[in-house]
Amino acid sequence: MVSDQPSRDGSNPPRLLLLDGHSLAYRAFFALPVENFSTTTGQVTNAVYGFTSMLINVLRDEQPTHLGVAFDLARKSFRTEQYAEYKANRSESPADFKGQVSLIQEILDALKIPYVTKENYEADDILATLVTQAEAEGMQVLVCSGDRDAFQLVTENVTVLYPRKGVSDLARMTPTAVTEKYGVSPQRYPDLAAIVGETSDNLPGVPGVGPGFASKWIQQYGDLDGVIQHADEIKGKKGEALREHLAEVIRNRQLNGLLRDLPLPLSVADLARKTWDRDAVHQVFDALEFRVLRDRLYATVETAKPEAESGFDLEMVRPGPGELAGWLQTYAEGSEPIGVAVGGSWARGAGEVTAIALSTVTGVTDGTAGHAAWIDPAALDLEDEQVLASWLADPAKPKVLHDAKGPLLALASRGLKVDGIASDTALAAYLVRPDQRTYDLADLVLRQLHRELRSEEPDDGQLSFDDTESDNAAEALMLRAAATVDLSAALRGELEASGGTALLADVELPLVAVLARMEQAGIAADSEYLAELQSQFAGGVKEAAENAYGVLGREFNLGSPKQLQGILFDELQLPKTKRIKTGYTTDADALASLYGQTQHPLLEHLLRHRDVARLKSTVDGLIKTVSDDGRIHTTYNQMIAATGRLSSTDPNLQNIPIRTDEGRLIRRAFVVGKNYETLLTADYSQIEMRIMAHLSEDEALIEAFNSGFDFHAATAATVFAVQPESVNTEQRAKIKAMNYGLAYGLSAYGLCQQLSISVEEARGLMDGYFERFGGVRDYLRSLVLQAGREGYTETVLGRRRYLPDLTSDNRQRREMAERMALNAPIQGSAADIIKVAMLGVDAALTTSGLRSRLLLQVHDELVFEVAPGERDAVEELARREMGAAYQLSVPLDVSVGVGCDWHEAGH
């Protein structure tokens, strides 16, 4: 019997794990709700996620030495040639499932796990052939499959892992387990299945005969041949039914027997586990947005991390009193950058520094050791602290940090300013691979340098640390400093090749300090008003729930999809929404659409309940993040969105509602702070459409901006061939949706859904639009074609987004990549321009000597806190710097508003 765990000392035989790819993918698809698993580009990933999660678990638990996956190639096989109705009862693969098998195979490629297909044969036959080979070589074998036909493979050395529920609960089907469940040995299981039939394979059995009677006959007569030979002896209706259906039973047995001698393109020896392709793993997991799953993979599976070629050769010191100046003069006075790593913590605009490490490059090419120093700021005397402060603040002393903003906040807590940052390795890696989801230093070092954050054996003269926790922490920090400066050198060539050198130096790096100051400043919050809103929204949640109860005359769980399905579709007999595994969807979009059809009062109260609950949740989160200074300090991240847009977290101030009256009430909680006069907001009007006009060079679109009329009315006038002042509200709304939607790959179907019109009307509207704005049509077409040729798109500042799926043979993935190709240059250019504007505004505030400050960036909007008497100067400065951020063929129009709170300052 297969032992529970293979021996690590090699005393146990090799262990082969085989997986039935399609069987497990299908189970994963139906186990995980489609609506909960998709990428930001719309690719459904529930089957991929479930399969990969199961794979990680089984690799962790079984620790195989050999590994392979078999897939069905098509529905047709030699079995369908023998019996046309074989599996004919199976419906066509769900639309959301299509394309996911190829994604699973991409993951297997990255993990260096072989997978096999065979024309005219099924995955089961491939598995049976490999099992037979492995047994002959004395291997232990595990077969993971949701197909019961695999039970015939079970022996003392072969165990089937059969999913009982989804793909997470696996039953170990040993000979004993099969016999206990079915009353026959694994070898006789196909005989049992031939009599009983296999519904999933569309193989009908003997009517009225279940596993109990079938196993009894097999036990009595030895096997199926014995049952057939003694069929005349079996009495009663069941015996009569058996005799009437003997032909079908014989056919079933011929079809359910697995072939064990297929010629395959690989052997069991080829399934030995291999070192994974770390770069490929990151790329495919990034594309699928499987960050948590990737962390699980690295945390639980030992072979996830390929062995590094080396560590870091460092001479490590802890300068004593008065020695820091000498170390800096010896190693940090030249033009070569010094790696800086900071120990401590930082969050919500503040931080604390506990240690600082500095390091030279480690001499990878010539084999010389690097030099590193560890500094405890709290232990420095006044002279050493001044030396350190002077070196950190010297712009002529180049420094390299990794994800520098947090360390800057920590150093600022001790009054230490940093200038002369030559590179930030996290930002550099982001510009090289913008779709990556994590930029962890240790991972980048392993991927880029093939080294680990460990020191080599100490050389003579290298400091030998005592084995204490503090000494280990000091060594680790120095290694991070060394790794950072080496990584910067390694990324330099890739950054240049991707066109990101200037973008890093001129935009992203200078922006780090600006964002750090914004986080430090925060924005004042009216806590009493937030508490009132919290109470108000809580009352709204309660009222909406009671109104919903009143419609039905009883209480129910408004958050339970199962209860809602029963009430809406069974009890109230409302039209069905989109079919999902658990019934019919009750998500917000579906309920809103259903309410539009039926106007049922229960739906009105359900939607109201969800809206107010969401507002209350937002307020709850804001209250928790008000700091002791009475201000909310968000954290900005430059490395989340592949398009270059900034993100805001803890709390997300870019997601404060603005489209509804109640949502806008929340903005009133953000107020002008003490010793300041007002808040001022400045944002770009229709910046993405202005970029569209610039990039497409469409004369009609440019004229619409230059006409002086409302832009959407002007474009509507062109499409509908009327004067701008004659454009009605409906016409303007339709063209506004078109204007903004085209940059995001809007289809006729998407437009019809958005405007609640027919597909034909939407298609006609789009045709009319492109007839008037042919330059836009030609630009969008050329954009996708050019991106397909070059493999990437570019913004006005040269920010690239790589889109390998543009040449994919998977239609769904290719179309998603095409939509991204349409969106990235426009949204990315908008992100570039607002960043340049922030740099200009910040520099102008400093050089002008104004006390006013920049607090927030919310997509295309900047929020200022204005000091007394500086309102006009700040408005003029904001208009000037934002308007001059980039020269487009149409003006960058800037709207400005002022007020005592964010809502009042809106415009």
- Measured CA to CA in angstroms, residue 761 lies from 81, 721, 745, 749, 753 at distances of 47, 17, 18, 10, 11
1 Cβ contact partners less than 8 Å away, ≥ 6 residues apart? 156, 157, 159, 174, 175
Q: Phi and psi (nearest 5°) for 742? A: -60, -35
The arithmetic mean of pLDDT across residues 643-664, rounded, is 90
Helix (H, G, I), strand (E, B) or coil at 25: helix
* CB of 191 closer than 8 Å to CB of 224: yes
Question: Nearest to residue 886, comparing CAs of 825, 797, 799, 798?
Answer: 797
Separation of alpha carbons 323 and 75, rounded Å: 76
**DSSP structural state of residue 299:** H
179 Cβ contact partners less than 8 Å away, ≥ 6 residues apart? 185, 186
pLDDT digits (tens, 9 = 90+) for 214-234: 888 988 888 888 888 888 888
pLDDT digits (tens, 9 = 90+) for 797-809: 999 998 887 877 6
Q: CA 653, 655, 657, 658 torsion: positive or negative?
A: positive
* CB of 663 closer than 8 Å to CB of 657: yes
Question: Nearest to residue 276, comparing CAs of 268, 284, 287?
Answer: 284
Which segments within 720-867 are labelled E, that is strand? 792-794, 800-802, 853-858, 861-866
* CB of 12 closer than 8 Å to CB of 6: yes
**DSSP structural state of residue 809:** S
How many distinct helices (H) and strands (E) make up the chain?
Answer: 35, 29
Q: Given 3-state DSSP classes, what are the helix, strand and coil percentages for the chain, each rounded to the nearest 5?
A: 50, 15, 35
pLDDT value of position 764? 85
The arithmetic mean of pLDDT across residues 811-833, rounded, is 86
pTM summary value: 0.76
Separation of alpha carbons 380 and 383, rounded Å: 8
Separation of alpha carbons 260 and 254, rounded Å: 14
Which segments within 66-139 are labelled E, that is strand? 66-70, 115-116
Peptide bond into 651 cis (omega under 30): yes
Question: β-strands 370-375, 451-455: how paired?
Answer: unpaired
Tell me what the pLDDT averaged over the chain comes to.
88
* Model confidence band, residue 738 (pLDDT cutoffs 50, 70, 90): confident
pLDDT digits (tens, 9 = 90+) for 7-33: 444 557 899 999 999 899 988 888 887
Separation of alpha carbons 138 and 635, rounded Å: 58
Most confident of 189-193, 476-480, 734-738: 476-480
Separation of alpha carbons 391 and 471, rounded Å: 25
The arithmetic mean of pLDDT across residues 315-329, rounded, is 93
* CB of 785 closer than 8 Å to CB of 820: no
Comparing 482-486, 518-522, 805-809, the range with the smallest average pLDDT is 805-809
> What fold is seen in the domain 15-175+259-286?
Rossmann fold (3.40.50)
User: Class for domain 680-685+830-899, per CATH?
Assistant: alpha beta
Assess whether pLDDT exceeds 90 at residue 655. Answer: no
Any alpha helices (H) in 553-643, and if so which ranges?
Answer: 561-565, 588-598, 601-624
The arithmetic mean of pLDDT across residues 275-283, rounded, is 81
Tokens of 289: 């947005």
Any alpha helices (H) in 111-245, and if so which ranges?
Answer: 123-136, 175-182, 189-196, 211-221, 224-229, 236-244
Please, what's the b/e burial string for 225-256 (b: 16 or more CB within 10 A of its CB; e: otherwise)? eebbeebeebeeebbebbeebeebbebbbebb
* CB of 436 closer than 8 Å to CB of 491: no
Q: Which residue has the tokens 């090749």?
A: 497
Length of the chain: 907
> What fold is seen in the domain 688-824?
DNA polymerase; domain 1 (1.10.150)
* CB of 185 closer than 8 Å to CB of 175: yes
* CB of 118 closer than 8 Å to CB of 76: no
Question: β-strands 670-671, 631-632: how paired?
Answer: unpaired
Question: β-strands 350-359, 370-375: how paired?
Answer: antiparallel
Start-to-end CA distance of the chain, whole Å, equals: 74
Number of other residues whose CB lies within 10 A of the CB of residue 722: 14
More reliable by pLDDT, 333 or 457: 333
785 Cβ contact partners less than 8 Å away, ≥ 6 residues apart? none
342 bridge partner residues: 356
* Model confidence band, residue 786 (pLDDT cutoffs 50, 70, 90): confident
pLDDT value of position 167? 67
pLDDT value of position 795? 95
Question: Nearest to residue 336, comparing CAs of 261, 428, 400?
Answer: 400
Comparing 252-256, 350-354, 748-752, the range with the smallest average pLDDT is 748-752
Tokens of 795: 């913004």
610 Cβ contact partners less than 8 Å away, ≥ 6 residues apart? 588, 591
pLDDT digits (tens, 9 = 90+) for 165-177: 766 788 999 999 9
546 Cβ contact partners less than 8 Å away, ≥ 6 residues apart? none
Q: Where are the domains of the chain?
A: 15-175+259-286, 307-480, 680-685+830-899, 688-824
Separation of alpha carbons 665 and 616, rounded Å: 12
Comparing 130-144, 298-312, 648-662, 744-758, the range with the smallest average pLDDT is 298-312
Q: What is the DSSP string of 471-510?
A: HHHHHHHHHHHHHHHHHHHHHHHHHHHTT-HHHIIIIIHH
Question: Nearest to residue 340, comparing CAs of 269, 261, 424, 437?
Answer: 424
CATH number 2.40.10.480 given to 307-480? no
Question: Nearest to residue 249, comparing CAs of 241, 259, 237?
Answer: 241
Separation of alpha carbons 652 and 356, rounded Å: 31
Tokens of 733: 């709304």
Comparing 505-514, 527-536, 556-565, the range with the smallest average pLDDT is 556-565
* Model confidence band, residue 856 (pLDDT cutoffs 50, 70, 90): very high
Q: Which residue has the tokens 């420095």?
A: 380
Comparing 82-96, 344-358, 386-400, 680-694, the range with the smallest average pLDDT is 82-96
Question: Nearest to residue 113, comparing CAs of 307, 262, 297, 289?
Answer: 297
Q: CA 811, 812, 818, 821 torsion: positive or negative?
A: negative
Rg (CA), the chain: 33
Separation of alpha carbons 639 and 654, rounded Å: 16
- Measured CA to CA in angstroms, residue 572 lies from 568, 577, 588, 752 at distances of 5, 13, 18, 28
Q: Which residue has the tokens 């330059």?
A: 775
